[in-house]
């Protein structure tokens, strides 16, 4: 009985994974996460019931157990994934209806603390560019900050994606969405120098010169961690992405522009990324209140001028 149940789960999970990759166009990482949580839930079902006939009460019991050890954000994600799974089963004709989830935990997404431009510049200029490895690391750090791209996107950059004349990169984002991102002149110079000294035995820009394999997200995270610790900074690749958004916003870039550069489908997601300095907030307040005072002065002058005017 256990063997038959596990065989059924394995079969359905393979079909669900194909659905996520091909129809919902999720990336490998997201698809793996979805399948992980669904598999955990199915294993928790009582008495090895048919893994397609679970009920709302089964989900509620599972969530109550997970709530003891997981945050509200994680529970929210799990509920969303289980809803997607039930809809998949419904459309495949394996269920009569999909879940009716009414319980959604309320949670606030914490914003990361503000990191000033000087700290980021210290980080990205930390590698010793006089060595081949140092030049590669510096090019990676500069490109992360100059474009705000995800680590997975950086790892997937091919030589054919780069236009050094226009200083643009064609990026393959989440859900196979393609976008064009821009980088600055200093990053262009680093990339040119890196390309000039690197054997091209791979189609990927950042690769292992011996094996030709592309760089991995773990290796990029390690590069960031080494130089962050060297400069006593608490920065990860994803925090660099947040800093790109925040610093662009402080320089006057509209939210919609930042959204397009980051590859977000929703402006609400971009808003979560943006943190601003207290100095920026004070300056914005002074500008706003200064405009208010000018308007009040204009109105008062108008009233005085027309006080004695007879109608």
Q: What is the per-residue pLDDT for 214?
A: 93
Using a 10 angstrom Cβ sphere, with 0-12 exposed, 13-18 middle and 19 or more buried, the burial of residue 244 is buried
First to last CA, the chain: 96
Q: How remote is the C-alpha of 293 from its chain's centroid?
A: 41
Is there a contact between 226 and 146 (Cβ–Cβ < 8 Å)?
Answer: no
Q: What is the per-residue pLDDT for 311?
A: 43
Q: What is the per-residue pLDDT for 157?
A: 95
Q: What is the per-residue pLDDT for 174?
A: 76
214 forms beta bridges with 207
Say whether 68 sits in a helix, a strand or coil.
Answer: coil
Overall pTM > 0.95: no
Q: Calculate the alpha carbon distances from 175 to 152, 158, 220, 254, 286 in Å.
A: 13, 18, 22, 24, 42
Q: Which is catalytic among the residues 142, 214, 241, 247?
A: 241
Q: Is 242 a catalytic residue?
A: no
Q: Is 249 a catalytic residue?
A: no
Q: How far apart are CA 106 and CA 227, in angstroms?
A: 37
Q: Which residue has the tokens 């079969």?
A: 11
Q: Is 238 a catalytic residue?
A: yes
Q: Calculate the alpha carbon distances from 171 to 27, 98, 137 in Å.
A: 14, 35, 20
Q: Which is catalytic among the residues 150, 207, 227, 247?
A: 150
Bin 167: left if φ > 0, else alpha if -120 < ψ < 50, else beta.
Answer: left
Task: Locate the domains of the chain by residue range.
Answer: 2-91, 117-273
Q: Is 264 a catalytic residue?
A: yes
Using a 10 angstrom Cβ sphere, with 0-12 exposed, 13-18 middle and 19 or more buried, the burial of residue 224 is buried
Average pLDDT per 10 consecutive residues for the chain, totaling 311 residues: 67 89 80 91 76 82 85 84 90 83 62 83 96 96 95 93 94 83 95 95 93 91 95 92 91 88 83 73 70 53 53 43
Q: What is the per-residue pLDDT for 305?
A: 55
Q: Is 273 a catalytic residue?
A: yes
Q: How far apart are CA 46 and CA 295, in angstroms?
A: 69
Q: What is the per-residue pLDDT for 299?
A: 47
Q: Which is catalytic among the residues 112, 158, 167, 174?
A: 174
178 forms beta bridges with 172
CATH code, residues 117-273: 1.10.443.10
Q: Is 241 a catalytic residue?
A: yes
φ and ψ of 207, to 5 deg: -145, 165
């Amino acid at each position: 009985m256990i063997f038959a149940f596990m065989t059924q789960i394995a079969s359905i999970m393979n079909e669900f994974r194909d659905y996520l990759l091909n129809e919902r166009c999720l990336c490998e990482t997201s698809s793996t996460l979805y399948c992980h949580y669904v598999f955990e839930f199915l294993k928790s079902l009582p008495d090895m019931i048919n893994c397609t006939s679970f009920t709302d009460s089964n989900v509620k019991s599972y969530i109550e157990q997970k709530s003891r050890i997981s945050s509200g954000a994680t529970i929210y994600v799990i509920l969303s994934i289980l809803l997607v799974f039930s809809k998949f089963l419904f459309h495949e004709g394996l269920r009569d209806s999909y879940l009716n989830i009414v319980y959604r935990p309320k949670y606030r997404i914490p914003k990361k603390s503000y990191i000033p431009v000087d700290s980021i510049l210290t980080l990205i200029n930390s590698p010793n560019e006089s060595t081949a490895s140092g030049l590669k690391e510096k090019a990676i750090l500069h490109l992360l900050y100059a474009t705000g791209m995800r680590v997975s996107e950086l790892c997937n950059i091919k030589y054919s994606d780069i236009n050094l004349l226009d200083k643009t990169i064609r990026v393959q984002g989440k859900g196979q969405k393609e976008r064009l991102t821009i980088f600055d002149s200093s990053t262009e110079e680093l990339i040119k120098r890196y390309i000039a000294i690197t054997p091209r035995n791979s189609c990927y820009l950042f690769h292992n010169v011996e094996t030709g394999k592309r760089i991995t997200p773990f290796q990029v995270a390690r590069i960031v961690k080494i130089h962050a610790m060297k400069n006593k900074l608490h920065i990860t690749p994803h925090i660099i992405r947040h800093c790109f958004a925040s610093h662009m916003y402080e320089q006057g870039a509209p939210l919609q522009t930042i959204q397009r550069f980051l590859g977000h489908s929703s402006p609400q997601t971009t808003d979560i990324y943006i943190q601003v300095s207290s100095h920026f907030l004070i300056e914005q307040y002074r500008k706003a209140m200064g405009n208010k005072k000018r308007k009040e002065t204009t109105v008062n002058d108008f009233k005085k001028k027309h006080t004695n005017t007879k109608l």
